[in-house]
Structure 1
Amino acid sequence: MAPVSIDDLRVVVAVAEHGSFVLAARHTRVPTSTVSRAVARFEDAAGVRLFQRNSRKVSLTAEGAMLLERAAPLLEEMDRLVEGLAGEEASISGRLRVTAPTMSGSRPIAAALMSFAEAHPKVTVELSLTNAVVDLLEEGFDLAFRAGPVHGADLVARRVWSVPYALGASPAFVEKELARRKKLDRAALESLPAIAARPDTVWRFRRDDNGVTTIRPRIRFCVSDLRVGIDAAARGLGIVGAARHELLAAGLVLLEPKADVGRPEARELYAVYPSRRLLPKRVALAIDWVARALRDAER
């Protein structure tokens, strides 16, 4: 494989993060033609195609997604190593305003930010838990954690966690309503009482052929905070879809859709921040800190 250029890699990562050659050009402050040439050089040197392109959008190939996941954190870490040669990292300070979903924000993300605050006593952390998609610039937030897909030309999104999802119900519900069955077909999933965060909730399942099955459940209890939804499921009110570890922690029984339905689709969690040329150090460090904590929690 021919040598690759770090500068070209930075451009490739910018295209991957923004999903657009034009937006990547704005972010890196170079002409769009320069971005195109840098991507072409990198693909030639690596010997793989990183992007699928058409007239409307740019999407990652499997190799491109792998490169983004591995290279983006390495580039950020390299930048911080250079900045930290003079011992600056220990002196980071200021206010860090973060918004996150109620479920993941109240538990793994909050725990990670608490340990981040302990390690950096000069940083003041403000965490706002909401399932609403807030305007980061208008509301003055430095950082958001959001389930994908993430939209917004003025935003950068970095995937930090793939959250395994599952369906669960109380042991009493399984005994009474399912006659101890744990494997359910589509008809059962559509007709059984369900608990969800929104009236228009749709459950998504990934099949072995990589296709997607969508099911609109019969919602019996709707609550915006899925922590409450899990409590409702524990009381036998119905089936709930949520992070697998949250269901197990609540003592719920995991339900298995039949093969033709597929497996509950994982939720991709992204760190989202306003597009800037230089991200404040406290924000960049916080993203890395939370990403590591979430990865470690899976082990």
Structure 2
Amino acid sequence: MNLNDVSLFIRIVETGSFTSAAESLGIQKSTISRRIAQLEDDLGVRLLQRTTRKLKLTDDGEELFARCQPLINELDTAKDYLSSTQINPRGRLKITMPSDLGVFMMNEVVGTFMKRYPLIMLEVELSTRLIDLIEEGVDLAIRVGELADSSLIARRVATVSRGLYASPAYLKQHGTPKTPDDLQNHECYGVLKAVDLWEFDNWDEAVEVKGKLKANSISFIREILLQDMGIARMPKVFCRDSVQQGKLVEILESYVSSPIEVNALYPSRRHLNPKVRLFIDHMMEMIGDHPWVTEQMIVPVAGPKKY
């Protein structure tokens, strides 16, 4: 029995299909099919019932998966650990993060990480979509904002300070809000979710804002603000240049907008992949020197927790 073939079998079951396993591992689907057939021949049993629509484990397949999954996971962890302790760690590291965070901050982290560990192959997906890290073979997710309930481990990387911004022309036409409650009479643009509540540290109740636009990109929302279209809550440093140029104005400055968290997420069902640990440690080191921090707009924090 070839352990590499057993590892492929485990991956197929975890991802739910030959196609997903092939994509996550970067190999041909036909190669996986051939190796699983060889594994079944070696064992003399059928492990998977394959149809055009779904994949189902046989009784023997369920038994092999239950017994071998923990062993394969431990072997993978051991290989990752040994790789990370080498002078030149190697292997694949797949990361997902929001586009704005990647372009305006994490690009420096990724670039310097590549120089520091040239034998680690990085795959970075810039997206805000919620994904199953295990199913899609993603090692680490960097997320901004509230976290949904999950079995993942979350490590808070930073806290981002925010403010409310609008163009001078918009405020001249529609008036400048005096209190957070006044925001209910304005076009307020925010993130893609059913209810958008804006909280302030020194205001008793959260304000439910409404507007004709929601988006998953702060770059996009900022461009809409520059067209004199409404009010948005943005990272302060992200609007700094526009404010200095007189294109945007920060409003309600005496009412402190609740900051937003940046978290690193990784699966909790196995020990932390050492390459993930290397990236997180490097990220924390780089964030400490980032311009956002020197302006006290991001405060690094530590301490992983399950959520």
**More strand by percentage:** 1
Whole-Å Cα distance in 1 between the matches of residues 153 and 174 of structure 2? 45
Query: For residues 132-167 of structure 1, what are the alpha-carbon distances to aligned partners after superposition, in whole Å with 9 as ceiling and x for unaligned?
Result: 221110111000012354345531111100011111
Question: 2:98 aligned to 90, 101, 105, which one?
Answer: 101
For 1:88 and 1:235, the matched residues in 2 are separated by: 52
Deviation at 1:212, TM superposition (A): 5.6
Q: Which residue of 1 aligns with 2:185?
A: 191
Q: CA deviation at 1:103?
A: 2.2
Q: Secondary structure at the match of 2:125?
A: strand
CA offsets 1:38-58 (integer angstroms, 9 cap, x no match): xxxxxxxxxxxxxxxxxxxxx
TM-score of the superposed pair, with normalisation by structure 1: 0.62
CA apart distance, 1:190: 0.9
CA shift in 2, pair 1:295/1:191, >3 Å: farther
Question: Counterparts of 1:236 and 1:166 in 2: how far apart (Å)?
Answer: 17
Gaps of 5+ in 2: 1-80, 295-307
Aligned-partner Cα distance in 2 for 1:123–1:148: 29
Q: Residues 257 and 214 of structure 1: is their aligned pair in 2 closer, same or farther, counting only changes over 3 Å?
A: farther
Instruction: Name the SS for the 2:199 alignment partner.
Output: strand
Residue of structure 2 equivalent to 1:256: 252
Which residue of the other structure, out of 261, 284, 289, is the alignment partner of 1:291?
284
Can you give the 5+ residue segments of structure 1 that lack an aligned partner in the other structure?
1-82
Distance 1:175 1:296 in 2: 39
Cα distance change, pair 110–240 in 1 and its aligned pair in 2 (3 A): same
1:204 to 180, 198, 203: 198
Q: Tell which deviates more after alignment, 147-156 or 160-169.
A: 147-156
Give the alignment partner of residue 171 of structure 1, picking from 168, 171, 185: 168
- 1:169 Cα deviation (Å)? 1.1
Which deviates the most, 132-141 or 145-154?
A: 145-154
Q: Is the 8 A contact 1:220 1:238 kept in 2?
A: no
The equivalent of 1:223 in structure 2 is: 215
Moved more, 227-236 or 165-174: 165-174
Distance 1:93 1:184 in 2: 56
Post-superposition Cα deviations, 1:99-127, rounded to whole Å, max 9, x if no partner, equal: 11232233212321122112211112111
Structure 1 residues 206, 188: CA separation in 2 closer, same or farther (over 3 Å shift)? closer
Q: SS at the partner of 1:132?
A: coil
Counterpart CA distance in 1 for 2:88 and 2:132 is 29
1:270 equivalent to 2:263? Answer yes
1:213 corresponds to which residue?
Answer: 205
Give 1:67's aligned residue: none
SS of 1:269's partner is strand
1:112–1:289: 8 Å Cα contact kept in structure 2?
Answer: yes
- In the other structure, the counterpart of 1:113 is 110
| Residue number in structure 1 paired with 2:64 | none
Equivalent residue letter for 1:221: L
- Give the corresponding residue for 1:239: 231
Alignment of 1:55-70 (within 5 A): none
8 Å CA contact 2:200–2:206 kept in 1: the answer is no
- What is the SS of the residue equivalent to 1:219? coil
Cα distance in 2 for partners of 1:242, 1:188 equals 18
Q: 1:201 to 1:112 in 2, by over 3 A?
A: farther
Alpha-carbon displacement from aligned partner over 1:222-245 (angstroms, at most 9, x marks no partner):
323221111101111111112111
CA distance in 1, matches of 2:84, 2:287: 27
In 2: Cα distance, 1:257 partner to 1:190 partner: 17
Aligned mates of 1:263, 1:205 — CA distance in 2 = 9
What's the C-alpha RMSD, in Å, of the aligned pairs? 2.6
After superposition, what is the alpha-carbon deviation per residue over 1:68-117, rounded to whole angstroms, capped at 9, x for unaligned?
xxxxxxxxxxxxxxx89x99353111111111123223321232112211
Whichever residue aligns with residue 204 of structure 1, its letter is: W
Amino acid corresponding to residue 129 of structure 1 in structure 2: L
Name the structure 2 match of 1:150: 147
- d(CA) in 1 for partners of 2:166 and 2:275? 41
| Secondary structure in structure 2 of the residue aligned to 1:168 | strand
Seen in structure 2, the aligned counterparts of structure 1 residues 190 and 120 have a Cα distance that, compared at 3 Å, is: same
Larger radius of gyration: 2
Give yes or no for contact 1:184–1:257 (8 Å, CA) kept in 2. Answer: no
